[in-house]
């Protein structure tokens, strides 16, 4: 029975001491400890969150870079294509113009040649005619030195006139 | 500091075997020896011959009397009456002229001794003060560490206690009390470390059996009861006076049961801690007594082997009982503060709240 009979003295001291300990520990130990723990947990949590956010940002940045690079690549391809197209067009144009010019020049040359040829031919013809007349004149002069021959010729003419 | 702790705990384990008493002359009475060891005293016998006489504080018909308990002993270490008081079987009574306790008859005619109210600093009270000083030093140091290196990883003594503090907060308070747990964490931490430290101090050689004293466990249980009642909400009382799902006809039976239930919960806390710790002490002391009962040195190794095993078990029980007391306290708080009881525990608070 002794064992299970609480003594008044111990009840008193235990009550007083426990209240004092509860108060002192709550105020000077548990409060700062819990506050520090909470603070540390928050700081860890926020650090983790920030790391996550940074990761996401990095990803976004990387994606943005990728997109930018892609855009730049497309732009470059476009510019190069356009440039090559423009170059081809210019070459084509230049070729066409050179062709045209050549054709025109050949035509001109041909025309000039023809004209020259015609002129030359006309001159040759004229010269030939002059020469023929000269030759005929000389032949006639030579033929008609003899008065008999002149007579014969006149006779011929007269005969021909008679016939008409 | 960590080394100091290791030393502290290892000392605790090794020197436990020195606790067995040496009876001088006469027949060895294990029952008396054990009762003496688990009970309370007015002086603290640290080792045989090294006795610390503690102050006796009495309040009664002579007013307040404070004197050293050494006054009850003569030079041959025999008990003697002092200043109108006499000590018998660890209790102080009023003495008559012959130095015998005064006998009075109560209303039923039974004879009993009468004595003043004894507020003495007994062995248990001294041990209580010691443990409290230890608690304050340890946890003020720990709190100081948090202040001196805020936001850093814990070091030394701080890293030893931090997981335990977090365990009490996250595994005992949070799941059992619910959203309002934070208010109760200081109480739970105090009660947990108070019980644990005192359990361990009780296992020290020459230590007092403080947590195995029903007065101490009663006070702790009453504190839990008071906090429970003061934090109880409408739902808690509605559960008691109008238990949901119970037909009205059964309420006359249910209400007294529920009301008794309020008291049985702290009562179970009181008895559980008291019985567990006292039983552990009794078992270890009994095992050592075997050596003296058989009066043979051959039984020594067997006895010591069993006692060592029991000692390790007691070290575990010291922690376990602190945990159980705290856990059940948290459950009772949880039951009192819960808004809607979803747990299938009929309001007893010991159902699963996880």
* Buried-exposed string A60-92: b where 16+ CB fall within 10 A, e elsewhere: eeeeeeeeeeeeeeeeeeeeeeeeeeeeeeeee
User: Which pLDDT value is given to residue A159?
Assistant: 85
Gyration radius of chain B over CA positions? 24
Chain B: give the shortest CA distance to residue A54, in Å: 22
Integer Cα distance of A92 and A87 in angstroms: 8
User: Which pLDDT value is given to residue B147?
Assistant: 86
Contacts of B70 (CB under 8 A, 6+ apart): B43, B53
Q: Let me know how many helices (H) and strands (E) chain A has, helices first.
A: 3, 0
* Domains held by chain A: number: 1
User: Which pLDDT value is given to residue B106?
Assistant: 73
User: Which pLDDT value is given to residue B15?
Assistant: 37
Share of chain A above pLDDT 70, in %: 98
Name the DSSP letter for residue B52: E
Residue A64, in any domain of the structure: yes
pLDDT at A85 over 80: yes
Integer Cα distance of B219 and B319 in angstroms: 19
Integer Cα distance of B115 and B102 in angstroms: 8
Say how many C-beta atoms besides its own lie within 10 A of residue B168's C-beta: 22
User: Which pLDDT value is given to residue A59?
Assistant: 94
Residue of B nearest to A26 (CA): B186
pLDDT at A160 over 80: yes
Does B214 sit within 8 Å of A14, measured CB to CB?
Answer: no
User: Which pLDDT value is given to residue B26?
Assistant: 64
pLDDT at A74 over 80: yes
Taking only the tens of pLDDT, chain B with its 354 residues reads 455 555 444 444 433 334 444 444 567 788 888 888 888 888 888 777 778 888 888 888 878 888 888 888 887 778 888 878 888 777 888 887 777 788 777 777 777 788 888 888 888 999 999 999 999 999 999 999 888 887 778 888 888 999 999 999 999 999 999 888 888 999 999 999 999 999 999 988 888 889 999 999 999 999 999 999 998 888 888 888 887 788 888 888 888 888 898 999 999 999 999 999 999 999 988 988 888 888 878 888 888 899 999 999 999 999 999 999 999 999 999 988 887 655 455 445 554 444
Straight-line distance from the first to the last Cα atom of chain B, in angstroms, rounded to the nearest whole number = 37
Does B135 sit within 8 Å of A36, measured CB to CB?
Answer: no
Of the listed ranges A83-97, A98-112, B140-154, B306-320, the least confidently predicted one is B140-154
User: Which pLDDT value is given to residue B3?
Assistant: 54
Residue A3, in any domain of the structure: no
Of A11, A12, A22, the CB nearest to B190: A22
Residue A84, in any domain of the structure: yes
Integer Cα distance of A112 and B140 in angstroms: 122
Does A14 sit within 8 Å of B215, measured CB to CB?
Answer: yes
Comparing CA positions, the residue from B352, B91, B35, B38 lying closest to residue B213 is B38
* B42 contacts B35 by C-beta, under 8 angstroms: no
Name the DSSP letter for residue B42: S
Does B166 sit within 8 Å of A14, measured CB to CB?
Answer: no
Residue A46, in any domain of the structure: yes
Residue A133, in any domain of the structure: yes
CA B27 to chain centre: 31
User: Which pLDDT value is given to residue B354?
Assistant: 42
CB pairs under 8 A between A and B: 116
From residue B242, give the alpha-carbon distance in Å to each of A19, A44, B231, B255.
35, 46, 19, 8
Residue A24, in any domain of the structure: yes
ipTM of the complex: 0.82
User: Which pLDDT value is given to residue A164?
Assistant: 57
What are the start-end ranges of the H helices in chain B?
A: 2-14, 30-38, 123-148, 157-167, 174-177, 185-203, 214-231, 234-241, 251-294, 299-337
What is the dihedral angle through the alpha carbons of B239, B245, B246, B248, rounded to the nearest 10 degrees?
90
Comparing CA positions, the residue from B139, B281, B131 lying closest to residue B216 is B131
Residue A1, in any domain of the structure: no
Contacts of A28 in chain B (CB under 8 A): 140, 143
Query: What residues does A58 pair with on adjacent strands?
Result: none
CA A103 to chain centre: 31
* B215 contacts B271 by C-beta, under 8 angstroms: no
* B151: region left, alpha or beta (phi > 0 left; psi from -120 to 50 alpha): left
User: Which pLDDT value is given to residue B23?
Assistant: 43
- Domain limits at A38? 8-160
User: Which pLDDT value is given to residue B13?
Assistant: 41
User: Which pLDDT value is given to residue B166?
Assistant: 93
pLDDT at A64 over 70: yes
Does B119 sit within 8 Å of A8, measured CB to CB?
Answer: yes
Residue A2, in any domain of the structure: no
Structure confidence at residue A153 as a pLDDT band (50, 70, 90): confident
Name the DSSP letter for residue B80: -
Comparing CA positions, the residue from A14, A21, A13 lying closest to residue B220 is A14
């Amino acid at each position: 029975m002794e064992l299970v009979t609480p003594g008044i003295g111990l009840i008193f001291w235990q009550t007083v001491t426990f209240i004092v300990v509860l108060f002192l520990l709550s105020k000077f130990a548990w409060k700062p400890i819990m506050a520090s723990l909470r603070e540390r947990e928050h700081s860890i949590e926020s650090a983790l969150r920030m790391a996550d956010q940074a990761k996401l940002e990095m990803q976004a940045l990387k994606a943005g870079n990728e997109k930018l690079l892609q855009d730049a690549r497309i732009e470059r391809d476009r510019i190069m294509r356009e440039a090559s197209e423009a170059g081809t067009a210019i070459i084509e144009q230049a070729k066409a113009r050179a062709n045209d010019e050549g054709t025109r020049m050949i035509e001109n040359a041909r025309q000039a040649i023809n004209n020259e040829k015609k002129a030359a031919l006309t001159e040759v013809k004229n010269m030939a005619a002059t020469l023929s007349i000269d030759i005929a004149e000389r032949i006639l002069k030579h033929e008609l030195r003899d008065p008999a021959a002149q007579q014969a010729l006149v006779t011929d003419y007269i005969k021909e006139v008679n016939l008409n | 500091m960590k080394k100091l702790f290791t030393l502290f705990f290892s000392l605790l384990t090794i020197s436990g075997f020195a606790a067995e008493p040496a009876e001088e002359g006469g027949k060895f009475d294990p029952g008396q020896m054990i009762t003496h060891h688990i009970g309370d005293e007015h002086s603290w016998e640290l080792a045989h011959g090294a006795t610390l006489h503690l102050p006796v504080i009495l309040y009664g018909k002579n007013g307040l009397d404070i004197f050293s308990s050494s006054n009850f002993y003569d030079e041959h270490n025999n008990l003697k009456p002092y200043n109108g008081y006499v000590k018998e079987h660890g209790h102080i009574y009023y003495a008559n002229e012959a130095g015998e306790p005064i006998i009075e008859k109560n209303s039923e005619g039974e004879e009993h001794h009468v004595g003043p109210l004894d507020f003495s600093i007994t062995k248990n009270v001294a041990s209580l003060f010691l443990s409290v000083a230890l608690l304050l030093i340890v946890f003020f140091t720990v709190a100081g560490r948090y202040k001196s290196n805020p936001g850093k990883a814990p070091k030394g003594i701080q890293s030893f206690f931090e997981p335990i503090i977090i365990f009490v907060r996250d595994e005992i308070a949070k799941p059992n009390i619910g959203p309002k747990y934070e208010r109760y964490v200081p109480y739970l931490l105090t009660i947990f470390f108070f019980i644990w430290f005192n359990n361990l101090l009780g296992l020290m050689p020459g230590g007092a059996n403080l947590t195995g004293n029903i007065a101490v466990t009663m006070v702790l249980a009453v504190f839990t009861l008071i906090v429970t009642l003061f934090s109880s909400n409408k739902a808690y009382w509605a559960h008691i006076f109008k238990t949901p799902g119970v037909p009205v006809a059964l309420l006359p039976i249910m209400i007294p049961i529920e009301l008794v239930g309020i008291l049985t919960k702290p009562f179970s806390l009181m008895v559980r801690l008291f019985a567990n710790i006292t039983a552990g002490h009794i078992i270890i002391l009994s095992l050592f007594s075997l050596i003296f009962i058989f009066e043979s040195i051959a039984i020594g190794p067997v006895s010591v082997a069993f006692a060592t095993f029991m000692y390790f078990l007691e070290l575990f029980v010291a922690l376990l009982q602190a945990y159980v007391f705290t856990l059940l306290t948290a459950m009772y708080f949880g039951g009192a503060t819960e808004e809607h009881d979803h747990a299938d525990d009929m309001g007893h608070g010991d159902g699963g709240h996880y």
